[in-house]
Chain A
């Protein structure tokens, strides 16, 4: 095949793939601006006749999804901030502090990556029940405050911090905490950004554990609330699509804004393979 032909072919394929990939998202967005029943009329149309924000109003007025949005945001933000601190402390220790059994301990943590979280969910629920944390934000937040992947990510970065920098700070009499907080952490900003966006998105999108531990509507996150609403609103397509857009918007915007850090985290995570 000549070069011209393959250029055309590659771009036709790229575009076709792009259309198929974006269609569900664009349709979701378009349907969310339609009035009741418009998405199911014949002949089918993809663009709303008269765009309306009615469905979004209904989300907040009738379905009270504003509360679910706040629950999602609260859980995701606290989890992100907490895991940044806890994972970075551990990652720093694994990379930069010498102690007996360090590498064995780290290896043990890594091997845990293949254990599916579901195995522990039944006892974890009973534990949360004993601690009176069922149906509280803390029940959703606490188990996510440290992750093996997060520790791994930070450790890989910290390994590249020059040892002389740390020694210089030690000679000046800085405490280990000062070195970590004032010397290492400012250098680690890119990897912290990566970990922050990964954690925020994972927490925001999480479904199974919140479904289990948040047993009452007052604490539902957006995915849990949406999953429980879709049954009774099976035919309110436009309304459900507005809910879906509300759920997706924060993560999509965040991804588009911080794509570089997100992809960096993904790549670092895959190197361990």
Chain B
């Protein structure tokens, strides 16, 4: 059917043009950019661009700031990711509990942070974290605990950002877990009860294994998202204090769009891309084994 193929081409043309021009081409060009010394002089006059092979990658890998940013990003992902997934699962189990009432209400409440604008809630959390006026320290004080300079203390700034991320994102994974939980056949639990298995053993031997594919999906989506950490530190800490919340994407943004060292920034972006691909592959391998 020749005419059908022609029609298909016309139907696809706008989408392929947009994706090709504004996504695939820039990704390929990004790699090319990382092999050049594109900087502010090149921005003024393209003749100043020179091919430098892997010089940028070598420079990035030798710079201390890159490893700091990468370490921070991994800290955020490796701590924040599992905590988010755990909170999501707990919320899903609660909402899904047989005895729970008002399920749609709680589901909506828990999901609400997901649809909020990150920049706006990050600004609110900036104030909630305020060492003197913030509600969080006031709550700590009322419990007799010492106040914490959340965003000003190098040790606490990243945990503070993780807390915001958990609050903002757990509702998304919760919805996915809820669907996974509802797909587990009720007979499995009935059989387990007849065999005398308690709540914990049912959870351990039925719920967790049956949620396997859901864990994989949630884990990959969370990891990809968290490795791209950017607006939280940009709004709340500007990467500080002492670069302890500087993320890889933020380093790319600062180098590329503040200092216009675009070749160098493109190398940072590609290294991050490799980390994300590795994280995805690793999770899939891990899931296959268990």
Contact = CB atoms under 8 A, between A and B. Distances in A.
Interface string B179-213: 10000000000000000000000000000000001
Candidate in B26, B99, B230, B270 with the most chain A CB atoms within 10 angstroms: B26
Nearest to B23: A120
Interface in A79-110: 85-87, 89-90, 92-94, 97-100, 102, 109
B110 interface: yes
Interface stretch (B57-65, B123-131, B154-162): B123-131
Interface string B104-125: 0010111111011111110111
Q: How large is the interface on A (under 10, 10 to 19, 20 to 34, 35 or more residues)?
A: 35 or more
B246 interface: no
B257 A212 contact: yes
B14 A143 contact: no
B140 interface: no
B127 A241 contact: yes
A118 B24 contact: no
Contacts of A217: none
A263 interface: yes
A97 B4 CA distance: 6
Contacts of A61: none
Interface stretch (A19-27, A49-57, A187-195): A19-27
Interface in B231-290: 231, 234-235, 249, 252-253, 256-257, 262, 265-266, 269-270, 272-273, 276-277, 280
A28 B117 contact: no
Given A17-B94, A226-B119, A226-B123, A122 B262 contact: yes
A122 B276 contact: no
Secondary structure type dominating chain A contacts: helix
Contact of A21 (B9, B110, B132, B262): B110
Contacts of A17: 91, 94, 106, 110
B213 A273 contact: yes
B79 interface: no
Nearest to A20: B167
Contacts of A157: none
Contact of B117 (A11, A204, A259): A204
Given A7-B99, A143-B22, 19 more contacts: A10-B99, A10-B100, A87-B15, A90-B16, A93-B12, A98-B8, A122-B30, A123-B33, A127-B22, A142-B22, A207-B119, A207-B230, A208-B230, A222-B120, A223-B120, A241-B127, A244-B117, A244-B120, A266-B172
Q: Which A-B residue pairs are the 7 nearest by beta carbons?
A: A120-B26, A273-B217, A90-B15, A123-B29, A93-B11, A146-B18, A143-B22
11 contacts: A11-B101, A14-B100, A20-B167, A85-B14, A89-B15, A145-B18, A208-B249, A208-B253, A222-B120, A230-B123, A266-B175
Interface of A: 3, 6-7, 10-11, 13-14, 17-18, 20-25, 27-28, 31, 39-40, 44, 46, 85-87, 89-90, 92-94, 97-100, 102, 109, 112, 114-127, 142-143, 145-146, 148, 151, 176-177, 180, 201, 204-205, 207-208, 212, 222-224, 226-227, 230, 237, 240-241, 243-245, 247-248, 251-252, 255-256, 259, 262-263, 266-267, 270, 273
